[in-house]
C-alpha cells in the first residue's frame, strides 16, 4: 500500500503546487474564520477538497472527486482564470477535468458579492497490486 500512499501524496503535492502558481492564498478543505477575516478587503483565493471515493470497473483503481473553489471579486477575467486553473492542473497524473459551475455569493452582512467558480476533477488512484 505504500506505493498507493506515495502516489496519492505526489498527486496532492502537484495539485497544491499547481494552485500556488497564481500567487493567491490556497486552503485545504475550507477557509478558517480567522483566515477569512484577512480576505474581507480582497476576496481572492483558492480552496481545494477531496470528496468521496468509488471503485472503478477495472477493479484496480478508485476514483475520487476533487473540487477546487476559485473565489474572486471585481474581476472581469473569470473565464480566463478558470482556464488557467484547469491548465495548471493538467500535468497532474491521473487527474481529469470534468466541469465548472459559476455562482455569485453575497458577503456576510454587506451588499457586496463574491464570484465563486467550482471546478470538478476526477482523481484516479491505483491500489492493491497495480
Checking DSSP bridges between strand 95-106 and strand 113-126, what pairing results, if any?
antiparallel
Q: Where do the domains of the chain lie? A: 2-126
Residues 13-36: pLDDT tens digits?
999 999 999 999 999 988 766 766
Q: Domain 2-126 class?
A: alpha beta
Residues 42-81: pLDDT tens digits?
778 999 999 999 998 888 899 999 999 999 998 899 999 9
Q: Is the pLDDT of residue 130 over 60?
A: no
Residue 129 is classified by DSSP as -
Beta-carbon neighbour count of residue 26 at 10 Å?
18
Question: In angstroms, what CA-CA distances link 122 with 51, 88, 93?
Answer: 10, 15, 11
Question: In angstroms, what CA-CA distances link 43 with 70, 71, 73, 120?
Answer: 10, 7, 6, 21
Are 93 and 23 in contact by the 8 Å Cβ rule? The answer is no
Amino acid at each position: 500500500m505504500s506505493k498507493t500512499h506515495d502516489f496519492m501524496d505526489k498527486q496532492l503535492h502537484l495539485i497544491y503546487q499547481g494552485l500556488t502558481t497564481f500567487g493567491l492564498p490556497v486552503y485545504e478543505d475550507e477557509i478558517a474564520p480567522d483566515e477569512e477575516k484577512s480576505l474581507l478587503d480582497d476576496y481572492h483565493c483558492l480552496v481545494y477538497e477531496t470528496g468521496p471515493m468509488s471503485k472503478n470497473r477495472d477493479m484496480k483503481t478508485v476514483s475520487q472527486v476533487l473540487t477546487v473553489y476559485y473565489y474572486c471579486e471585481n474581476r472581469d477575467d473569470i473565464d480566463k482564470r478558470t482556464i488557467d486553473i484547469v491548465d495548471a492542473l493538467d500535468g497532474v497524473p491521473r487527474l481529469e477535468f470534468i466541469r465548472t459551475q459559476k455562482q455569485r455569493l453575497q458577503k456576510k452582512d454587506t451588499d457586496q458579492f463574491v464570484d465563486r467558480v467550482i471546478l470538478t476533477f476526477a482523481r484516479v488512484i491505483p491500489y492493491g497490486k497495480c
